[in-house]
Amino acid sequence: MATVHQPPNAPILVSFPDADALVVSLSAFLVKAQKDSIDKKGRFTIALSGGSLPKMLRGLIGNPAVKWNKWQVFYVDERVVSLDHPDSNHRACMEHLFSKVSIPEGNIHHIDTSLLDDLEELSDAYEKDLIREFAQKDSARFPVFDVILLGMGPDGHTASLFPGHELLLEEDRWVAYVNDSPKPPPKRITFTYPVINHAARIVFVAAGKEKATTLRSVLDVPEEGLPSARVKPVYPGQLYWFVDDAAAANVAYPRTPFKL
Ligand SMILES: O=C1O[C@H](COP(=O)(O)O)[C@@H](O)[C@H](O)[C@H]1O
């Protein structure tokens, strides 16, 4: 059989028989990334998505290797609602993960809910929070997260970057807002591509057969119109796809066996 040669930081696709197996390996991957980052810099910076992602982090609960006090957590995107609203990504992460582990409250960077009526101010304030965390420490133009965890909607959106939206072309801002999201709720803030693409490790997590058609369009013949296909890490960053076999059912893209 002919060998398929991939460019040096081509996406790495790892597929697991089911979501439970994915959860275990994702947790091992994050613990390793955490250790490498803490050994190097004394902290671990991670950004989380909402949707189906928070419950896929359950493998971290009760794991003594996780150094929660070294984690600095941001949200890749957030719905502009109160923190206890059922649509809030922060609420989902609290419910599925943070309420069950001992992470210091101040290490979780959520939106400033006093600014919910002003999207510009709200996204600026979240950007300032990022600048405080990163600017002096990594003097790069964009923050370099140790890990950014992404989900992918059936329409190919990721974070709050939707097909055909002008934000797909944003090159300067770190955090931007959307007031016309096709998926409710309409008002959201989101990291932009430059922030996502500068991360050291970008990990998409996708499970279930409803993701199968889109995953094929992202990995096999990447359609630039699909926001998830536009995630392209800046070298030496690496993009991973952690999926289950149901999501990967239609994909010809080569799988890589999971190893740490
Ligand atoms: O609206 C959103 O959707 C995406 C994808 O969600 P999923 O449930 O299909 O995984 C999610 O990653 C994003 O954070 C969220 O705001």
Question: Which pTM was predicted?
Answer: 0.96
3 state SS of 109: coil
Residue 12: both structure tokens together? 């790495």
ipTM over 0.90: yes
Report which ligand 1 atom has the smallest distance to the Cα of 205: 10
Amino acid letter, residue 28: A
pLDDT in tens, 94-143: 999 999 999 999 999 999 999 999 999 999 999 999 999 997 545 568 99
* Cα 210 from chain centroid (whole Å): 19
Residue having the nearest C-alpha atom to atom 12 of ligand 1: 151
Ligand 1 mean position, distance from CA 41 (Å): 30
- Taking CB atoms and a 6 Å cutoff, what residues make up the pocket around ligand 1? 49-53, 76-77, 89, 150-151, 153, 158-160, 183
Question: How open is the CA angle 25-65-14, to the nearest 5 degrees?
Answer: 15
Query: How far apart (Å, rounded) are the C-alpha atoms in residues 104 and 106?
Result: 5
Report which ligand 1 atom has the smallest distance to the Cα of 152: 5
Beta bridge partners of 191: 175
Q: Please report the domains of the chain, with CATH numbers, ordered by start residue.
A: 12-244 (3.40.50.1360)
Beta bridge partners of 106: none
Report which ligand 1 atom has the smallest distance to the Cα of 181: 1
pLDDT in tens, 43-96: 999 999 999 999 999 999 999 999 999 999 999 999 999 999 999 999 999 999
**Helix segments in 111-243, DSSP class H:** 119-134, 193-197, 212-219
Ligand 1 mean position, distance from CA 121 (Å): 23
Report which ligand 1 atom has the smallest distance to the Cα of 154: 9
Residue 9: both structure tokens together? 């930081």
Amino acid letter, residue 252: A
Residue having the nearest C-alpha atom to atom 2 of ligand 1: 51
Q: What is the DSSP annotation of 212-251?
A: HHHHHHHHTS--TTSGGGG--PPTT-EEEEEEETTTTTT-
